[in-house]
Amino acid sequence: MTERRTIRVTVGPQDADIIGSDHRALQAAVDYVANLGGGRVDIGPGRYDMRDSLHLRSAVSIWGAGADTVLVKSPAAQSSLLLDGDFGEEQVTLETPERFAVGDGITMTDDRTGGFHVVVATILWR
């Protein structure tokens, strides 16, 4: 009988399979493990700057190193739209784009819908 082995990937600022200390390193590990059919992501000790949510995937478990693993939400940035987008459009033009970086998570809303139509996305290019 063949022994089933679980994929296990480590993430950390050093001495890990994926080196990094922000949401992009954590997301890379989650996506990699998910693409292999599932497994475990071990987040090593350290402080991780979260400029976007960690988007979880099926069959992937996330483990930290207890109180030594700290995920910190980055300060929020805000900008008005420079150009209004049309229905179904998947890009925005901001008045102050320098406040944002590729990989940042964003939320777009307006003052007229009472929060009913909120768009959540990740910046893919600038």
**Predicted confidence (pLDDT) per residue in 61-81, tens digit:** 999 999 999 999 999 999 988
One domain for residues 58 and 20: yes
pLDDT digits (tens, 9 = 90+) for 9-52: 999 999 999 999 999 999 999 999 999 999 999 999 999 999 99
Q: Which pair of structure tokens corresponds to residue 44?
A: 């090593």
Is residue 1 included in any domain, yes or no?
no
One domain for residues 118 and 96: yes
One domain for residues 87 and 68: no
Count of the separate structural domains present in the chain: 2
Q: Which domain holds residue 104?
A: 81-122
Residues 6+ apart with CB under 8 A from 44: 10, 11, 12, 13, 15, 16, 65, 69
Alpha-carbon dihedral 54, 37, 60, 46, rounded to 10 degrees = -70
